[in-house]
Structure 1
Amino acid sequence: MTSDDMPAGGELPAAGKAKGEKLGLDLLDRVTVRKRARMVAIGGIMVALAFGAIVGLIGGRWPGVIAGAIVAVPVVLLALSEARRTVWLEGTTVHVRAFGTRRVDLAAADGLDLLVTDLRGARTVGLFVRGGKKAINVALSMYAGTGGRELGIYQLRRLADALAARGDTPGLVFSELLVAQLRAEARGLAAAERPLYRLGSLAPAGRMAQKLHPEAVSKFVTSLD
């Protein structure tokens, strides 16, 4: 996958779309998400069967069944949750739905962080929002090698506007980051030259999930053109 054929996370707005309208923020399409969730579930069940068989050989049939269930059930529930998960923006509020719905208002969020996850060779850069004892991670981009996938232009623009409306330093820093990402895309820069890719590359390898230090993000944004 190259940066030239990088698919967008959503469609451009039609004329007259209201800012309070529901706007999808899913980075991956539903087919891809469900396929990934199915693979996770299958992998979890296979591990559970193997573990249950080993315990069964040692302790008997029922201990083996119970041990297998203990391993399988959480993994299957996680896969189902991922398959059902969808994220959207209404006004300045981010919503996420899986088995239930959580929402955090960007305008009143207690904390903003850049979360980088590294899984199976793909590095995902997300906006981690906390507020009202709830937290939501909005995936902004996913890169593998020199290509990847990014949220669409309109999605990034709306997020940038909502963050800028906070009026505080964290909101302005993240807003400027997203605006810089839009400028890089407008200039036709390759994925490796875009701000989100470069920031994601700053995270040390070998960790599944990590937050970049706010000062590092602020310093990086200040250094951008």
Structure 2
Amino acid sequence: MNESTSEPSGPTPPAESERLPLHGDNAQARRRRGCSGLVGVAIFAAASGGIVGLIGGQVAGLVAAAVIALPLLYVVLFNLRRQVWLEGKSVLVRTWRVRRIDLVAAQRLDLLVTDVRGTRTVALLVNAGQRGKVVKLDLAVYSGTGGRELGVLVLRRLADALANNVEANGMVFAELLIAQLRSEARGDAAPDRPLYRLASAAPSGKLAQRFTMEAVSRFVASL
């Protein structure tokens, strides 16, 4: 009598290899944004084509509408397809293709704070030193005294990956994320958390402010 033994089909992948989204991955919200963008492109192109058509005729109007619509349509579809994940110690960026950027091997790391109509975004700018290997990772978005931040698990994984980066002194940025995690664990309000304080420290009136490793190091030392 033959006995059948069930053997595992393969090793279970470690938890670190799990893909974690680095921004909102809501399919319904993406569809709404896509529909709104397409409607906006159609209205703008039709209006522009209509104005040109009144002056130069129907053919000129159609050409003008197409010339305006095509690049705008490309931008809408590009943003609609763009997704960013953290997988192990690499960042995956999907647009028309998937790019993989190794956080451990990145040659330059900067912190970028942007200010758009009172909403400040704190992002990590990762440069792998190769063409097409630059990505901006939004860590937190603040408006007033509140906002949204990356989850605890994602911040922890990012900190672990950055801590192993020797080329760009990633330990400094890892310490910033660890300080943010500790602040959240203590239950600090948003204005008392390091990322919020860093966003508030950026000068007003500037669309984007880049913080180098040295500036981040001084800030972390002051916490």
Mapped to 1, the partners of 2:168 and 2:125 lie a distance apart of 16
Aligned twin of 1:96 = 93
C-alpha contact (below 8 Å) 1:27/1:150 kept by paired residues: no
Instruction: Report how far residue 195 of structure 1 moved.
Output: 1.4
Contact 1:128 1:135 in 2 (8 A): yes
Looking at both structures, which has the greater relative contact order when contacts are Cα pairs under 8 Å and sequence separation is at least 6? 1
- Relative to the length of structure 2, the TM-score reads 0.81
TM-score, length of structure 1 as denominator length: 0.81
Aligned 8 A contact 2:106 2:165 in 1: no
SS of corresponding position for 2:15: coil
Greater CA drift, 123-132 or 167-176: 167-176
48-57 vs 107-116, which moves further: 48-57
Root-mean-square deviation (CA), in Å? 2.4
* 1:2-151 paired onto structure 2 within 5 Å: 18-27=15-24, 29-119=26-116, 121-131=118-128, 132-133=130-131, 134-151=133-150
Looking at structure 2, the residues matched to 50 and 152 of structure 1 have their Cα atoms a distance apart, in angstroms, of 43
Give the whole-Å Cα distance in 1 for the aligned partners of 2:118 and 2:109: 26
Structure 2's unaligned 5+ residue stretches are 1-12
Q: Return the offset for 1:154.
A: 0.6
Question: 2:195 is paired with a residue of what secondary structure?
Answer: helix
SS at match of 2:191: helix
The answer to whether the 8 A contact 1:20-1:90 is kept is yes
1:152 Cα deviation from its structure 2 partner: 0.7
Asked whether the 8 Å contact 1:159–1:175 carries over to 2, the reply is yes
- Whichever residue aligns with residue 79 of structure 1, its letter is V
Equivalent residue pairs, number = 209
Q: What pairs with 1:156-167 in structure 2 (closer than 5 Å)?
A: 156-167=155-166
How far 1:40 sits from its partner (Å)? 3.6
CA apart distance, 1:122: 2.9
SS in 2 for 1:108: coil
Query: Offset of 1:181 from its aligned partner?
Result: 0.8
Larger radius of gyration: 2
Stretches of structure 1 that go unaligned for 5 or more consecutive residues are 1-15
Query: Displacement, 1:182?
Result: 0.6
Deviation at 1:48, TM superposition (A): 2.6
Q: How does 1:169-180 map to 2 (within 5 A)?
A: 170-180=169-179
Deviations 1:26-49 (A, max 9, x none): 245333344334434433433333
Q: Distance in 1 between matches of 2:141 and 2:25?
A: 9
